[in-house]
Structure 1
Amino acid sequence: MSEPRPRGPRANPWLTLVAVALGLFMVGLDGSVVSIANAEIARDLNATTAELQWVTNSYLLALAAALILGGKLGDRLGRRTVYLVGVVGFTVASVAIGLAGSIEGVIAFRAVQGAFGALLMPNTLALLRAVFPPKKFGMAVGIWAMVSSVSTALGPIVGGLLVEHVNWESVFYINAPIGIIALIFGLLVLPRSRNEAAASEKFDVSGVMLLALGLLAVVFGVVKGETWGWTSAGTLGSIAGGVVVLVLFGWYETRVAHPLLPMRLFRNPALTIGTVVTALNFFILLGVIFFVMLYLQNVRGFTPVESGVRTLPLSLTSMVASPLGAKLTEKFGPRLTMPLGMVLQAAAAFTMLTWTADSSYQLLWPPFVALGLGVGMVMSASSDAIVGNAPVQDGGVAGGLQATSLQVGGALGTSVLISLISSRVGATLGDSLNDAGVPHSATARFEEAKDAVAMGVAPVSEAMPAQLRAAVTEGSHTAFMNGVHTAVLVTGVLALVGAALAALGLRGRTDENSAAAPSPAAASTGTDH
């Protein structure tokens, strides 16, 4: 038995969009704001580089391992309930991080934060899928994508302001007021929504364990690849073992009566391609933002706030691109907007090949504009392709699938691109130092600092003679830019591969799935405990 259709604020899908946007903004902001706070966390808590990596990695692993589970729980227990539990847990964990007082506490509560984020994120799209009619779902997704893109891009600016003028703890405390507003507003306006059939099904415990184990192993191997080496036994063993477990998970899901992730979803080519392109989209976005911030702060010498302001074109254009991409997707389908967005990202990457250690801002902002436009368009198109092509009753699972591909792609982007930069720096640092005027006898000593150079930091001190200091700085920055050029070349090629995949694999606008799926009203109501 389903309840009557909701009345009042709960009957307004646009209020639902505002409510889920608040939670989404909180998670998106937290994903990129932490990178700005890392240096202060290390100084204040005496954290080693390895411990600092786990501030990010513990969050990422917990999030990636539980996203599809979070979507499934929403379908089964009620999307509104699971979303709001995620909001509360994420907010409390954020405050606990600031109060922890030790690096071990920060790492532990970051993992808790990631687990609750996995309850929150997939159910944002599932709630939209349940309340918006097919013709308006694309525009809703466009605004959802805009919030996601802008919150991620604003992270460095907000983080820079808070770290400079308050403290690193405030980067996490800021989630408290956002979370409280999201909870109160959500309680008032979010409708009850769940898959009634799923509520009575036997829960796929084995599927949960296999998926979590497989994703943990793959993401762990990816995030450790930079420090262990991409060809090391540990890295290859972790990634290969995870892939084997994920293949086993896929096989198992085709043989269980009530699967965690129905494999039938992948029969839809738009959904499958959308999942792959979503991963590529965030591979590019998060990977590029990471090394751009290193370039602006460590090579150019800008403060975190100054660096964030200079990347504003990325934020502003993504705001424009997301609803524009949604409108184009609504009219022409993702076959136009998805390849177009990836081509724009390729153009941004190839333009960065012209950057030098002292490029004027006139050379910096055009790639930010192209990247913002491309990311916003792909976010809208891929969300429509994934969640819009899944039956309404599987909205939570589809949202979890998209969020998982997004997080895995982002993890790969930061790890792989920084690894490429590190490798290129190691190969060219000696020659770059010599070309800049560093004596051959001193080169070996500075080459030992290649890890610092790979982060854009020149290994100099005030005690050095001015001429030597200038030569080491010039040579180090040249080596770093060599690494950046390698990274953006790979990024551009991957963007073109994504564009070709979308152009060749997607069909034009169809409403077959929408017609076959239950109406939003029919699927969105139900007891939400």
Structure 2
Amino acid sequence: MTVLGSGMAFLDGTVVNVALPTIGRELGGGLAEQQWVLDGYLLTLSALLLAGGAAGDRYGRRRVFTSGLVLFTVASLACGLAPTGNALITARLVQGVGAAALVPGSLALIDAGIREQDRGRAVGLWAGMSGVTSALGPFIGGWLVDAVSWRWVFWINVPLAGAALIMALRHLPESRDPASRDQGRFDVVGAALITLGLAGIIYALIEGASRGWRPVTIVAAGVGITAVAAFPLVEARVAAPLLPPGLFRSRQFTGANLTTLAVYAAMGGALFLLTLQLQQSLGYSALAAGLATLPTTVIMLLASPRMGALAQRIGPRLPMTIGPLVAGAGLALMSRIVPGADYVGAVLPAVVVFGIGLAVTVTPLTTTVLAAVAEQHVGVASGANNAISRMAGLLAVAVLPLAAGVDAGPGQALGPAFSRAMLITAVVSALGGFIALASVRTATTVAPHPLPGINQACQHPCTRAFAQPGQGQASRSGIAEDLE
């Protein structure tokens, strides 16, 4: 049920991609409106994931998870009923709020409710299925658009969320961090700053590129930058920060999250433009565009659990280095997907190589982040990592068209800018591999003493999943060495 709940949140980050041309024709709007339909959801999701993780630790992970399910379901209904583009964007903003409660809560509930010896495999299943649902989005969206209506891209969430809610209320035990209420009031200021900061920056990037740098756009950029800059200063001073600054003293935690930023930025930007390229430049139907990326989904579904088991034996460093490089090679191959290129010769090799790279990367990346924190802070850590991954997609959708020079109206071909964009994403993905090589250790353990800003650090059970045979719990490689 937790995988189903978080899977819907990940799915809605990509399922709408192939529906964008149809939504544009029915509701009106150009590239900027298409960007907002995606980024409206990613904006509130990424901005509030930290708050969602912290709220679960403090008020109860099951309570926050089920509340998120209800809000997500109501917003999905509103998305499907939206009469205008602005109404759809507004509903997507609300949908992102609900998703922000689902994602960190689902992973924290798995960690709290699964036996220690099964947690590594359970996290691997969660990570693999989360990646699969993201990659499955274009296929499901394409089928629904062609078979029924683009509105069913959102309405399909309703029965799934209902099933997840019933199972959660019946079978999920409540869990929370007992020390969280003693650490001070909930960090409302931090949540407001990161939300305002991202909103201002994304608004400026999208609206500035499409409508010019008007005074309102410049003010939004200034407010956004100021709020983002103030966020770490506030977090260093509050008693119960959304993102404890001490986490980033660990090179392991910081490196894994920087790798997340690079890989998910490359993936988010590439999938956004690829679905537009297939439909608007190559003439694919929505279903054909979704089917075109199906090999990526199949590869991730089959390979992700195996990569989790392999990473348990050899450690996360090698797969986290190789995976982004292979994914980057797949993205570079996507630059060959231009008018006149056939599926077998251009599209298929690119999505296969890209899928292999993602499958190698996703599970070790997720488990490494969780292994870097004490058990009672797994909600904060999962919220932070998922916030970074969604933020990466948010920024990529806003920045990549501008950086590559994409300027296409509804139904218009993307032109040579698409190939430039794919090469940019290839470089960004490869950068993630080099970051992992420089920062991630072969074996990871949580530091035996507290981090500043974090109460009572202890060894996280996922740490042992990456311990080398014979090292045992006393090993002090990885994070402990970083802190000494």
Per the normalisation by structure 2, the TM-score is 0.86
| Corresponding residue number in structure 2 for 1:401 | 384
Larger radius of gyration: 1
Counterpart among 367, 370, 377 of residue 360 in structure 2: 377
- Residue identity opposite 1:217 in structure 2: G
| Corresponding residue number in structure 2 for 1:498 | 432
Q: CA deviation at 1:166?
A: 1.4
Q: CA deviation at 1:133?
A: 5.2
Counterpart among 141, 152, 168 of residue 150 in structure 2: 168
2:105 is aligned with 1:127: no
2:59 is aligned with 1:96: no
2:130 is aligned with 1:137: no
2:77–2:158: 8 Å Cα contact kept in structure 1?
yes
| Corresponding residue number in structure 1 for 2:11 | 29
Q: CA deviation at 1:353?
A: 4.1
Q: CA deviation at 1:356?
A: 4.1
Distance 1:47 1:274, change over 3 A: same
1:389–1:514: 8 Å Cα contact kept in structure 2?
no
1:134–1:514: 8 Å Cα contact kept in structure 2?
no
Q: Secondary structure at the match of 2:373?
A: coil
Q: CA deviation at 1:370?
A: 1.6
Once residues 501 and 232 of structure 1 are traced to their aligned partners in structure 2, the CA distance between those partners, rounded to angstroms, is 37
| Corresponding residue number in structure 2 for 1:214 | 197
Q: CA deviation at 1:226?
A: 3.8
2:202 is aligned with 1:202: no
Alignment of 1:355-504 (within 5 A): 355-360=337-342, 361-422=344-405, 451-452=408-409, 457=412, 480=415, 482-504=416-438
Q: CA deviation at 1:283?
A: 1.1
Once residues 76 and 511 of structure 1 are traced to their aligned partners in structure 2, the CA distance between those partners, rounded to angstroms, is 25
Distance 1:280 1:96, change over 3 A: same
CA RMSD of aligned residues (A): 2.7
Q: Could you report, residue by residue, the CA deviation over 1:322-349 in whole angstroms, capped at 9, with x for unpaired residues?
A: 2233223222222111111111112112
Count how many residue pairs are aligned between Structure 1 and Structure 2: 453
| Corresponding residue number in structure 2 for 1:113 | 95
Q: CA deviation at 1:161?
A: 1.7
1:26–1:175: 8 Å Cα contact kept in structure 2?
yes
1:339–1:503: 8 Å Cα contact kept in structure 2?
yes
With 291-300 and 240-249 compared, the bigger mean Cα shift is at 240-249
Q: CA deviation at 1:240?
A: 5.8
Structure 2: unaligned runs, 5 residues or longer: 450-456, 463-484
Q: Secondary structure at the match of 2:112?
A: helix
Per the normalisation by structure 1, the TM-score is 0.79
2:320–2:364: 8 Å Cα contact kept in structure 1?
yes
| Corresponding residue number in structure 2 for 1:526 | none
Q: CA deviation at 1:86?
A: 0.5
2:370–2:460: 8 Å Cα contact kept in structure 1?
no
Once residues 301 and 448 of structure 2 are traced to their aligned partners in structure 1, the CA distance between those partners, rounded to angstroms, is 27
Distance 1:456 1:112, change over 3 A: closer
| Corresponding residue number in structure 1 for 2:458 | 517
2:374–2:446: 8 Å Cα contact kept in structure 1?
no
Q: Secondary structure at the match of 2:239?
A: coil
Q: CA deviation at 1:314?
A: 0.9
Q: CA deviation at 1:301?
A: 1.6
1:87–1:120: 8 Å Cα contact kept in structure 2?
yes
- Residue identity opposite 1:213 in structure 2: L
